[in-house]
Amino acid sequence: MATTNNKTQCSVCNKENNTYNCKRCSNEFCLPHFTEHRQRIETQLEAIINDYDQFQQTIIQQKRNPYNSSLIEQINQWETNSIQQVQQTAQQCRETLMKLTQKLINNVERQFTELSKKLKEIRQKNEFNEIDLNHFQLKLTQITEEFLQPSNISIRQDSQEFIKKISVISSIESYHPIQFAISTATIPKNPITTSQISNQSQVKQKPIQTKKSKFKQSAITVAGGNAQGQKLNQLRYPWGIFVDNDKSICIADCYNHRIVKWKLNSNKGRVIVDGNQNNQLNLPTNIVSDKKNNSFIISDQGNRRVIRYFDQTQEILISNIDCYGLTIDKNGFIYVSDYEYHEVRRWKQGDKIGELIAGGNGQGNQLNQLNSPTYIFIAEDYSLYILDHNNHRVMKWKKDAKEGIIVAGGNGQGNSLRQLSYPQGVFVDHLDQIYVTDYRNDRVMRWCEGDEAGETVVGGNGQGNQSNQLNGPSGLSFDDDGNLYVVDHNNHRIQKYEKVLI
């Protein structure tokens, strides 16, 4: 432990004397202080040995009774609190359900009275069309179903826990011998910068059109066309469509209560959402693709809701809404038209109340009003194009605008090139040309903003089922090659008008 040295200075008292060197700490001590130093070290060693023995006893006790710990007590307390919370919530739900049931009965009775009054009014005025009749029939069906099997009262079990989730978190790994060492992190010599990452992938831009497209006037039937029915080669009053990148067509087959997909050159479709199973759909009117989330967004009009469908499951996004048309922007925000409240709202994920984008100032024909809007289209600059159905016009609402501008029709109902009659579908191309399905005039028109009149693109040859005729066109879309697809609603088919190469 120590060696004797000639007279040197003690590291404690600083006096010169015969000293002893401690090889462990390399200090010099006189004899009294060396003895004291030695006792202090031995005392520290005894304390460490005593702590070691006590900890060993703790380990032995814990192995004998593993349930005797503060963590187990926390779990037991969580169990007790959770059971109490479940019981309280169940009782609250019972009381709420009783109040809602009575409110539902009163509400159904009020709706039925209002519907009867409106039906008498339009019958006396003799001003109605097919869309109005479909709407009244739908409303009566909804009221009946709502009374017998209320859809706006249900028991929902959220995927997000209302009881705080408990779990055991551990970072215990396999045993490694304790080593007294200092580790250092390695920094890459040439880190990748943000700009380098963004330059590795360039967005492929579509070629910009420079000329107005022309189309063959005789169409090819690419879906349905075999009379109305529910077979896989038939459709029944389809409404909305979209064309996928592989030129397959997804169709809201409204009166068959289903979504069907027809592949290119196929003579029959495949049901991808069947409303006849578990009442998944009721009179769907529109469908859009949300590629970001690998899903479809569907206007489930008969069930007064908008749903997301993916992997054979569906999620209700918006409830209690009379929606015919919807669209989605590049940020994934969903725009929904409300036929009943004469407005369009934008919904972000998690919203309980959508943001008002257009209308919302009551039913009317002023620039800040709408009258039963149906289908809608969102442009790259977030301008919203709205089929203002009963005003026989197309409205454009720029981003954050307080009122819209008329970009097609708006000159009363009629069949001139300045007029529309109950327009249904709308699409805007890269030249900002507005394509509109003119429902009662059995034609598709093209308008440019600022023009006093539009031009007939296809149809307009009288109501019929020939290849150059339409009967109540509704939805429309384009494929990547610029071919035009039109929903020939009353002919129960989808027509493809090939683009003419110039």
Per-residue pLDDT, 234: 96
**Structure-token match 């034609």, residue found:** 443
- Which distant-in-sequence residues (6+ apart) come within 8 Å of 283 by Cβ? 138, 254, 255, 257, 300, 301, 302
Q: Which residue has the higher pLDDT, 229 or 349?
A: 229
- Produce one character per residue of 157-175: b if its CB has 16 or more CB atoms within 10 Å, e if not: eeeeeeeeeeeeeeeeeee
Per-residue pLDDT, 196: 29
Distance CA 15, CA 231 (A): 111
Per-residue pLDDT, 146: 67
Q: Which tokens go with 70?
A: 């503060």
Distance CA 304, CA 295 (A): 20
- Closest by CA to 326, choosing from 338, 340, 314, is 338
Per-residue pLDDT, 190: 37
CB 306 within 8 A of CB 323: yes
Per-residue pLDDT, 421: 94
Per-residue pLDDT, 188: 36
Tell me which CATH code domain 213-501 carries. 2.120.10.30
Q: Domain map of the chain by residue range?
A: 9-64, 80-169, 213-501
Helices 70-125, 130-148: inter-axial angle, 10-degree rounding = 140
Rg of the Cα trace of the chain?
38
Which helix (H) or strand (E) element contains residue 473? strand 473-478
Per-residue pLDDT, 36: 83
- Specify the DSSP class assigned to residue 191: P
Per-residue pLDDT, 371: 94
CB 484 within 8 A of CB 457: yes
To the nearest whole number, what is the mean pLDDT of the chain? 82
Q: Which residue has the higher pLDDT, 4 or 142?
A: 142
- The bridge status of strand 241-243 relative to strand 384-388 is unpaired
CB 184 within 8 A of CB 106: no
Q: Which residue has the higher pLDDT, 110 or 238?
A: 238
Distance CA 62, CA 76 (A): 18
Distance CA 93, CA 99 (A): 10
Percent of the chain with pLDDT over 70: 81
Instruction: Express each pLDDT in 183-224 by its tens digit.
Output: 333 333 333 332 222 333 333 333 344 568 899 999 999 999
Distance CA 391, CA 369 (A): 10
Instruction: Express each pLDDT in 344-387 by its tens digit.
Output: 999 988 788 899 999 999 999 999 999 999 999 999 999 999 99
Residue 424 has pLDDT above 50, yes or no: yes
**Burial grade of 30 (CB within 10 A; 0-12, 13-18, 19 or more):** buried
Residue 29 has pLDDT above 50, yes or no: yes
Give pTM, 2 decimals.
0.62
Residue 452 has pLDDT above 80, yes or no: yes
